[in-house]
Amino acid sequence: MGLALDSMAIEMPTVHGHPNRTAFRGVLTTVDAASDKSPSGARGHRVLLTRRAAEAAIPSLMGMGLDYSPALDRHDARRKIGVITRAEIVGHAIEVGGFLYARDFPEIVKEIGAAKRQLSAGSGKLGMSYEIADALVEDIKANVWVLNRVTFTGAAVLRKDKAAYHSTWIELG
């Protein structure tokens, strides 16, 4: 099995030294693998996002907001700290990138910077989580909900212990 790569991006103009634009990148989720725990909204069920659903939904990630809560323990769709401008499926991971609003949210930029150092050391406490709508669940009675269709509506930065997939991460860059 070879490496599969599907990608999409919004081209942003380069503005050197922009005080409110700091790049980020990370792994948003895994495809074709059950979540480590139930995400919010899944009524206690673990979920599995199929590759086919992820491929079809990648365009819906473009331009979506990245949010956080100050305790990094949940989603807060009204606290947008950045924007997703790139998404691609690499192997079984959906990798995303974009910009954080660094001047508006210096505390989260500092926290993500510290997380990068931890990630390099083999740990790292921050992960990511997706936000979706219009999900098509294969069997709502199954222990693991197989998602055959989704529309991405955003993403969140949170502590890995609060993320449904513990293999997610985020870093500056």
Please tell me the predicted confidence (pLDDT) of residue 15.
83
Please tell me the predicted confidence (pLDDT) of residue 11.
79
Please tell me the predicted confidence (pLDDT) of residue 99.
97
- DSSP code string of the chain: -PPPEEEEEPPPPP-TT-TT-EEEEEEEEESSSB-SSPPTTSTT-EEEE-HHHHHHHHHHHTT-EEE--TTSSS--TT-EEEEEEEEEEETTEEEEEEEE-TTT-HHHHHHHHHHHHHHHTT---EEEEEEEEEEEES-TTSSEEEEEEEEEEEEEEEEGGGSS-TT-EEEE-
What's the pTM?
0.89
Which domains are assigned to the chain? 20-172 (3.20.16)
Instruction: Please give the Cα distance from 89 to 104 (Å, whole number).
Output: 30
Please tell me the predicted confidence (pLDDT) of residue 121.
47
Closest to 35 measured CA to CA, from 169, 165, 166: 165
Please classify residue 162 by burial: count the beta carbons closer than 10 Å to its beta carbon, then call 0-12 exposed, 13-18 middle and 19+ buried: buried
Give me the tens of pLDDT residue by residue for the chain, a chain 173 residues long. Answer: 554 555 667 777 788 889 999 999 999 999 999 999 999 889 999 999 999 999 999 999 999 999 999 999 999 999 999 999 999 999 999 999 999 999 999 999 999 998 766 655 445 789 999 999 999 999 999 999 999 999 999 999 999 999 999 999 999 99
Please tell me the predicted confidence (pLDDT) of residue 78.
95
Please tell me the predicted confidence (pLDDT) of residue 120.
53
